């Protein structure tokens, strides 16, 4: 008898879902990105019991059309990408149609949604584990979409226990991630709160749909934070390493960074966020390069870093890991060299323009 058999489709779905939604952060990231993709100017993230009981993300975006109710949570159904070729010119966060279907497989999940044309009438959508629509009902609801995720990992006991055991750390990580989205998203109000098991609801932070990232930073970290920051605005000229293979192009590094002066940095590298074309992501090598250069001006402290790499969508790949946090930058070594050189020049110029402290 043959011993190689196909895994039943339900199990395949669960295994893959567990790779897209790995922790509290991935839930929040996927839902907030969906709200941004839906053109929301207001996003409210509400946790219950630090996310262990529930995570709710409410937006005032486009809402979901009735014609899409059946497919919205089906795996690989997306309104954002029709073919692989579209990946290089992608302007949305989502593109794989996996988040909602994964959440159906891993939690008690439902959606409330209404479009501008629906009046104050909205629809609640309930789903099967597979993502198939189970039923709809009419509810009172403002324009936009609310996604409710309860009992995350209810059917993955080990991960559920991990979440409960590490809830403090997990919740801290999720706040850091939300702070990055709140700071980069100009024109979007982002409000985050938690309802503990006992006691009153706690507002973690909120932004005011500001036109600038500076104002967002002031809302999130306090206005005092700004006094220690200088603008980061570097143009990095990239010359092709292999002639004929690439064309010369410019990568911009925009954002804010601590003054390169002892006393103006932070005790720990706790406020450092990185983006590629306004997409929050982990850029460990870029982070290392910037921290290294900063250290040569302020050996005792770490900088606040808000760094957005603005570059051609052909010059990187977001489709590297299921959670899309990892970004592959083409020509990374050359980029890092140019970045360090330019940052040194910027810090040196700043040092000269600031009068030395009196002895
Ligand atoms: P993806 O974002 O990769 O398309 P998702 O599973 O995250 O996949 O979402 C599936 C689809 O559901 C999206 O393409 C979008 O059309 C719709 N959708 C999800 N969240 C929202 C939202 N907050 N507002 C409007 N539409 C949404
Ligand atoms: Mg999505």
Structural tokens at position 155: 């059917």
- Collapse the DSSP code of 337 into the 3-class scheme (helix H, G, I; strand E, B; otherwise coil) and give the result: helix
Backbone angles phi, psi at 145, to 5 degrees: -135, 135
Supply the pLDDT for residue 268.
92
C-alpha span between 77 and 127 (Å, rounded): 15
C-alpha span between 38 and 123 (Å, rounded): 17
Q: Which domains does the chain have, with CATH numbers?
A: 10-220 (3.30.565.10), 222-353 (3.30.230.10)
Please write down the long-range contacts of 10-19, taking CB distance under 8 Å and 24 or more positions apart.
10/129, 10/130, 13/75, 13/101, 13/105, 13/129, 13/130, 14/105, 14/106, 14/155, 16/75, 16/98, 16/102, 17/98, 17/101, 17/102, 17/103, 17/105, 17/106, 18/102, 18/106, 18/156, 18/159, 19/322
pLDDT in tens, the chain (359 residues): 788 888 888 888 888 888 889 999 999 999 999 999 999 999 999 999 999 999 999 999 999 999 999 999 998 888 876 666 666 666 777 777 899 999 999 999 999 999 999 888 999 999 999 999 999 999 999 999 999 999 999 999 999 999 999 999 999 999 999 999 999 999 999 999 999 999 999 999 999 999 999 999 999 999 999 999 999 999 999 887 666 656 778 999 999 999 999 999 999 999 999 999 998 988 999 999 999 999 999 999 999 999 999 998 888 877 666 666 678 888 889 999 999 999 999 999 987 776 555 54
The residue whose CA is least distant from atom 18 of ligand 1 is 34
ipTM of the prediction? 0.99
C-alpha span between 107 and 129 (Å, rounded): 9
Mutate to test the pocket of ligand 1, among 17, 34, 56 (most ligand atoms within 8 A of CB): 34
The residue whose CA is least distant from atom 20 of ligand 1 is 34
Distances (CA, A) of 264 to 272, 288, 297, 302: 15, 19, 11, 9
Query: pLDDT tens for residues 157-211?
Result: 999 999 999 999 999 999 999 999 999 999 999 999 999 999 999 999 999 999 9
Atom of ligand 1 nearest to the CA of 97: 8
Full-model pTM: 0.92
Supply the pLDDT for residue 186.
97
- Collapse the DSSP code of 192 into the 3-class scheme (helix H, G, I; strand E, B; otherwise coil) and give the result: strand
- Which residues fall within 8 angstroms of residue 275, CB to CB, at 6 or more apart? 180, 184, 255, 281, 307, 308, 309
Is 78 touching ligand 1 by the criterion CB < 6 Å? yes
Query: pLDDT tens for residues 28-57?
Result: 999 999 999 999 999 999 999 999 999 999
DSSP state, 105? H
């Amino acid at each position: 008898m043959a011993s190689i058999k196909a895994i039943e489709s339900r199990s395949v779905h669960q295994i893959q879902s567990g790779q897209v939604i790995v922790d509290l952060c991935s839930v929040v990231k996927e839902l907030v990105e969906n709200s941004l993709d839906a053109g929301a100017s207001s996003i409210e993230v509400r946790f219950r019991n630090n996310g262990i009981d529930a995570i709710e993300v409410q937006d005032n975006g486009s809402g979901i059309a009735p014609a899409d109710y059946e497919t919205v949570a089906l795996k690989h159904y997306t309104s954002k990408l029709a073919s692989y070729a579209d990946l290089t010119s992608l302007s949305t966060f989502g593109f794989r149609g996996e988040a909602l279907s994964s959440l159906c497989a891993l939690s008690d999940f439902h959606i409330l949604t209404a479009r501008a044309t629906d009046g104050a009438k909205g629809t609640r959508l309930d789903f099967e584990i597979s993502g198939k629509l189970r039923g709809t009902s009419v509810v009172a609801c403002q324009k936009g979409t609310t996604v409710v995720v309860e009992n995350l990992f209810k059917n993955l006991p080990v991960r559920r226990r991990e979440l409960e055991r590490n809830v403090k750390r997990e919740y801290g990580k999720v706040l850091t991630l939300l702070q990055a989205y709140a700071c980069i998203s100009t024109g979007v109000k982002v409000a985050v709160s938690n309802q503990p098991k006992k006691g009153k609801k706690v507002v973690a932070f909120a932004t005011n749909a500001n036109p600038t990232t500076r104002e967002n930073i002031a809302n999130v970290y306090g206005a005092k934070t700004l006094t220690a920051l200088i603008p980061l605005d570097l143009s990095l000229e990239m010359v092709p390493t292999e002639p004929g293979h690439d064309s010369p192009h410019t990568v911009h590094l925009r954002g804010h960074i601590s003054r390169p002066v002892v006393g103006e940095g932070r005790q720990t590298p706790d406020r450092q966020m990185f983006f590629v074309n306004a997409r929050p992501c982990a850029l460990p090598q870029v982070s290392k390069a910037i921290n290294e250069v900063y250290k040569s001006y302020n050996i005792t402290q770490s900088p606040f870093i808000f760094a957005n790499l603005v570059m051609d969508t052909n010059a990187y790949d977001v489709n590297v890991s299921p959670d899309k946090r990892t970004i592959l930058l083409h020509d990374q070594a050359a980029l890092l060299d140019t970045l360090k050189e330019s940052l040194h020049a910027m810090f040196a110029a700043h040092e000269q323009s600031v009068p030395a402290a009196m002895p």
